[in-house]
Every structure is written in C-alpha cells, then in structure tokens.
Structure 1
C-alpha cells in the first residue's frame, strides 16, 4: 500500500524536526512545502506532504504515524 500524510506545524524548528523524523522512518517528500499565515493564531504555518510504501492493505483504521 502507498501511504500519504500531510505534516503541519507552526513555523518553528518543531516543523523541521517533524519532517526529519518522518524521513528517518522511511517516508519520502512528496511535492513542495507550503507556508501560510494562520489568522486564527496569528502565526505562520508550514506543511509538507510525505509518502511511504508500506506492507498490508489500506484501511481507514491504519495509524499512518505508526508506519
């Protein structure tokens, strides 16, 4: 199965750590990162899509963070 996740976080080092952790767990970058202003919090937010080929069949119950 091919898995997809969209990682998001405020524009701090926490976002870079989140993406780095995913890469070290075998996820691959998919497309370009996004950067936008969140009017609700008054902060900039980052997003990066990642994909991973994983064993098994897809189900909505799959915990993507655990792959």
Structure 2
C-alpha cells in the first residue's frame, strides 16, 4: 500500500474515532449504527482526500 494512502487512512480512522465515538461518549450522547456507518464512509473518503492532498503538497516542494 502506498504511503500516502496509509497516512490518509490513519488520519481518517483517528478522526472517525474522535468525532463519532469518543466525543459523543464523553457528552453522554447515543452512538448509533447509522452514525457509525456514515462516519466510516465520510472519514474514509476524507482520509483518502487528506492523504492525496498531502502527497501533492509535498511533491510540489521537492
């Protein structure tokens, strides 16, 4: 797997855990299956876009 994909997915998983699981849990809100599924999709796409953007940024500087 390419490094930028790993970086992006790591970022996406971290954001997913914090936004969808940790913050609602600390606030006493319900964590639903719908919010988890939507979170996986959105943060997965967001992570890939983040990784791709970082790859392009660092390519331009080198």
**Does TM, scored on the shorter chain, surpass 0.5?**
no
TM-score, normalized by length of structure 1?
0.28
- Which structure: greater helix fraction? 2
Find the structure with the greater CA-based Rg: 2
- Which structure: greater strand fraction? 1
* Structure with larger RCO (C-alpha < 8 A, sep 6+): 2
